[in-house]
Structure 1
Amino acid sequence: MVRRLLRKPVRLVPLGFLVVILVGTGLLMLPWATSEQRYTSFETALFTSTSAVSVTGMTVTDTPNYWNGFGLVMITVLTQLGGFGILTGASLVILAVSRQLGLRNRLLVQAETAEFGLGDLRRLLLRIAATVFVTEALVAAVVGARLWLVYDYAPGRAIWAAVFHSIQAFNNGGFTLYSDGLVAFARDPWVTLPLCAGAIIGGLGFPALFEATREWRRPARWAVATKLTVWGSLVLIAVGFGYLLLAEWGNPYTIGTYDVPGKVLSTFGQIALSRTGGFDLINVDRLTEESYPMFVGLMFIGGGSASTAGGIKVSTFFLLGFAIWAELRGEPDTTVGHRRVASASQRQALTVALLSVALVTAGTVGLIALTAHVRFHAALFEVTSAFSTTGLTVGLTQQLPPSGQYVLIALMYIGRVGPLTLGSAIALNTRRRLYRYPEEQPIVG
């Protein structure tokens, strides 16, 4: 058994995350992790640990009041381990996949993943670690200085709050030290924009981030995956920003009472964080009804591949869009940026998307069945948020019975390790058949 796992190190990723979750659960159950010095129930500790390790940020408690300093530090450590573990796990997966494929496919992997191809593992992991900690330090420095100089925080409190939220932002977690989220800072660009920058950088994924920064003057030379991720992310942010600004412009419970700069800043910040992170800059539970489908869509798509974000990934979504467009135009091939996309990549994207839709559908039905008087849109929102490891909530999570919480726990775990494991399994199982069956075209539609 052990030898089999070592021969397939990709299989160790889900097991490793499960071990960290269980260890975190045990530590959070201890009485010195809570403000009232009492034991935490297994369900609450497991939910919190899973949410932290999966960098989701959903809670069943009032985080700043329920957990004391030790508990909050544990949540921070688990979030950092979860985010950095996914990055290193993704790196190892890509390296393992590239070495087990044939030469032709290995070269394709190297071309599509740039820095993540057949390079030096030690140099790769050091570069990832440097990017993580430098970004978190810069975000924390700006936010901490703002809290100290403008909000009159004591230096120690300002540093703690800044470090906590910078780690949550970069790893796309949603835990905060404030019961109302970050609504109080929604119109402060010195707090909102650094956190958004951290979340966007962490949510792009290092294959896209490294190549985009290295070839920033020549975007035409970017790999297809980088183009889909970078340009796709900008499109999603722009469309989501415009949609939410129009939908919530006059809503007095969200941004309706703000001035124009406040509306623009808080809307942009919420959209930048809604795709990947779980911070509340506006009251998500008081949105207009037409805003919820947009949030569900953005959360379901998520961020970039090999990133701290969840969802089906930006590249998957836009690759399917290009495939549909090519089919509607009667094109024989799907092309992106003068590159023909392999049919295997299109099938993999379709597989990930349809399996994700099935999981979200099953989770929504299960949550409604297990919980009385739950509205469909609320159940769909919470399930999508859990599966995409976003962490936004309309207030339903804390009202769920233990059975409903276990549904979300399973979705958070699957949403974090599932796409990584599934993608590697598909790639590792890629093989070339030496024969082909006769072709037939069944009626479609």
Structure 2
Amino acid sequence: MLADPARAGGRVVPLLTRRPAWQRRSDRLQHPAQVITIGFAAAVAVGTGLLSLPLATRSGQRAELVDALFTATSAVCVTGLVTVDTGSYWSGFGQAVILLLIQAGGLGIMTLATLFTVLLSRRLGLRARFLAQAETKSLTLTDVRGVVRRIVLFSLVSEAVVAVVLTTRFATAYDAPFGAALYDGVFHAVSAFNNAGFSTNADSLIGHVTDPWINLTVAAAVILGGLGFPVVFELTRYWRRPELWSVMTRITVTLTVTLLALGTIVFTLAEFSNPRTFGPLDGPEKLLAAFFASTMTRTAGFNSVDIGAMRPESLLASDVLMFIGGGSAGTAGGIKVTTFGLLAFVLWSEMRGETQVNVGHRRIPPSNQRQALAIALLSVGAVATATFLLLAVTPHRLDVVLFEVVSAFGTVGLSTGITGSLPPGANLLLVLLMFAGRIGPLTLASALALRDRNRRFELPEERTIVG
């Protein structure tokens, strides 16, 4: 304790006291990135515990810890990779747990926590607003509560509409009992909107490859959920006035449409005559299957054809699309189309010799450029390292292993069929990849860094040869 040298009434006036240890430890967890990381980790832990109960499996036996952990992580991180079949291995209770984990992971642990705070106390502290801002990618703090409410309402309404369409289709076209049709409709609606890719069918949606009602409805839910909430809300306000769109909305919409079209073309050409995928389909059905495959590689995880039977060029195209992912602040994964778009504009500006990076009539700050570069390089490093390790412990080919790694890191959930046969160590590596891919490489790194460190000096400048 420090004391003022001036005394009042014979008393020492304290100026500074040492705070208790528990307060100092609490200060270390003030960064939103850290709290979000811990929140997702806690959800994974709770999900693992629930799925480890005998009640969670159809056999009544406890699930293997690796299977429970893998499934819980895949659900919370809205990935869709599985080591055991969802419909036949997990009981109704287990599937309900998976569905709740998908919903929680899609909306965001911090978004749900903020909503409960608003409903229970009608108050929202500054720290809670910062946490909600970090999770929802809201650019201002003043509207966080409104954003959270709209996120939840929009998500639930979208899932309900998709569930109604799917339920009606399952009941009328496939003669499913209403209860079973409703259950499958709700499960696939929540899984699709949150870009999770979990299915109660052992073959995902292969049995519905020629059904446009199911394919297009699921694809629409995936695209809508993957655009990102800020983009969707902005489009609802200014959909007739593109000149008022923000940079994020312009990049997201433009690249989403472009990548969907390119993916459809590539898959159509690569798989057109493949007898194990598109070969038996007619012309319109080939286009439908190609569009569905292009949409699902944006981190959804459903498949209407056998991924393991695809040609190498299709797998490579899928790797690229899965790595890019979907929109920021949405339920999609990958490095995000905004990251990819910003890097493309940086490259274009550098090739033209411009000192500033401009998108439309806006200038992109250097901090945004560095963030995009950091995310891309960290992601490339994670994928390369994980691919090397999996190649060392499994007998599979490079293209198959790379596909599995990118699918996990991009929280996509597509698989060539090797997930269930991987050794426990490889599955644990995929768990880490799914977690890192959902939280985000930069967010995860920030969470571990404790605090930002600013240098109080600058070094002399010196240019070096590049290239």
Instruction: Tell me, yes or no, whether TM beats 0.5.
Output: yes
- Looking at structure 2, the residues matched to 12 and 91 of structure 1 have their Cα atoms a distance apart, in angstroms, of 13
The answer for the alignment partner of 2:430 in structure 1 is 408
Distance 1:90 1:37, change over 3 A: closer
Superposition pairs for residues 323-334 of structure 1, below 5 Å?
323-334=346-357
Given that residues 253 and 286 in structure 1 are in contact (C-alpha distance below 8 angstroms), is that contact kept between their aligned partners in structure 2?
Answer: yes
Q: Does 1:263 align with 2:283?
A: no
Given that residues 171 and 202 in structure 1 are in contact (C-alpha distance below 8 angstroms), is that contact kept between their aligned partners in structure 2?
Answer: yes
Given that residues 204 and 304 in structure 2 are in contact (C-alpha distance below 8 angstroms), is that contact kept between their aligned partners in structure 1?
Answer: yes
- Looking at structure 2, the residues matched to 423 and 219 of structure 1 have their Cα atoms a distance apart, in angstroms, of 35
Distance 1:426 1:197, change over 3 A: farther
The answer for the alignment partner of 1:240 in structure 2 is 263
Distance 1:425 1:213, change over 3 A: farther
C-alpha deviation, 1:252, in angstroms:
1.1
Distance 1:440 1:377, change over 3 A: same
- Looking at structure 2, the residues matched to 430 and 322 of structure 1 have their Cα atoms a distance apart, in angstroms, of 27
- Looking at structure 1, the residues matched to 224 and 35 of structure 2 have their Cα atoms a distance apart, in angstroms, of 27
Distance 1:233 1:256, change over 3 A: same
Q: Give a deviation string over 1:347-392, Cα, whole Å, max 9, x none.
A: 1100100000000001101111122x12111111101100110000
- Looking at structure 2, the residues matched to 342 and 167 of structure 1 have their Cα atoms a distance apart, in angstroms, of 37
- Looking at structure 1, the residues matched to 217 and 442 of structure 2 have their Cα atoms a distance apart, in angstroms, of 28
C-alpha deviation, 1:296, in angstroms:
0.3
C-alpha deviation, 1:140, in angstroms:
0.4
C-alpha deviation, 1:418, in angstroms:
3.0
Given that residues 91 and 306 in structure 1 are in contact (C-alpha distance below 8 angstroms), is that contact kept between their aligned partners in structure 2?
Answer: no
The answer for the alignment partner of 2:240 in structure 1 is 217
- Looking at structure 1, the residues matched to 238 and 460 of structure 2 have their Cα atoms a distance apart, in angstroms, of 44
Q: Does 1:281 align with 2:281?
A: no
Q: Does 1:361 align with 2:389?
A: no
Q: How many residues align?
A: 432
Given that residues 267 and 314 in structure 2 are in contact (C-alpha distance below 8 angstroms), is that contact kept between their aligned partners in structure 1?
Answer: yes
- Looking at structure 2, the residues matched to 24 and 158 of structure 1 have their Cα atoms a distance apart, in angstroms, of 26
Bigger radius of gyration among the two = 2
- Looking at structure 2, the residues matched to 136 and 340 of structure 1 have their Cα atoms a distance apart, in angstroms, of 37
Say which SS state the counterpart of residue 320 (structure 1) adopts. Answer: helix
Match among 99, 103, 107 for residue 76 of structure 1 = 99
C-alpha deviation, 1:403, in angstroms:
0.6
The answer for the alignment partner of 1:156 in structure 2 is 179
- Looking at structure 1, the residues matched to 336 and 413 of structure 2 have their Cα atoms a distance apart, in angstroms, of 16
Q: Does 1:125 align with 2:152?
A: no
The answer for the alignment partner of 1:374 in structure 2 is 396
The answer for the alignment partner of 2:77 in structure 1 is 54
Q: Does 1:344 align with 2:364?
A: no
The answer for the alignment partner of 1:303 in structure 2 is 326
TM-score by length of 2: 0.87
Distance 1:242 1:325, change over 3 A: same
Q: Give a deviation string over 1:187-230, Cα, whole Å, max 9, x none.
A: 21111111111111111111211112211111122111111111
- Output the aligned Cα RMSD: 2.6
Q: Does 1:393 align with 2:395?
A: no
Given that residues 383 and 406 in structure 2 are in contact (C-alpha distance below 8 angstroms), is that contact kept between their aligned partners in structure 1?
Answer: yes
More helix, by proportion: 1
- Looking at structure 2, the residues matched to 155 and 239 of structure 1 have their Cα atoms a distance apart, in angstroms, of 38
C-alpha deviation, 1:99, in angstroms:
6.7
Q: Does 1:20 align with 2:43?
A: yes
- Looking at structure 2, the residues matched to 169 and 262 of structure 1 have their Cα atoms a distance apart, in angstroms, of 21
Q: Give a deviation string over 1:222-261, Cα, whole Å, max 9, x none.
A: 1111111111111111111111111111111111111111
Given that residues 10 and 96 in structure 1 are in contact (C-alpha distance below 8 angstroms), is that contact kept between their aligned partners in structure 2?
Answer: no
Superposition pairs for residues 64-103 of structure 1, below 5 Å?
64-85=87-108, 88=111
Unaligned runs of 5+ in 1: 101-105
Q: Does 1:292 align with 2:315?
A: yes
- Looking at structure 2, the residues matched to 314 and 281 of structure 1 have their Cα atoms a distance apart, in angstroms, of 24
The answer for the alignment partner of 1:229 in structure 2 is 252
Say which SS state the counterpart of residue 363 (structure 2) adopts. Answer: coil
Distance 1:427 1:307, change over 3 A: farther
- Looking at structure 2, the residues matched to 97 and 130 of structure 1 have their Cα atoms a distance apart, in angstroms, of 20
Code of the residue aligned with 2:327 in structure 1: it is G
The answer for the alignment partner of 2:277 in structure 1 is 254
The answer for the alignment partner of 1:146 in structure 2 is 169
Percent of paired sites with the same residue? 46
Stretch of structure 1 that moved more, 30-39 or 52-61: 30-39
Unaligned runs of 5+ in 2: 1-23, 116-125
Say which SS state the counterpart of residue 290 (structure 1) adopts. Answer: helix
- Looking at structure 2, the residues matched to 10 and 365 of structure 1 have their Cα atoms a distance apart, in angstroms, of 29
C-alpha deviation, 1:98, in angstroms:
9.6
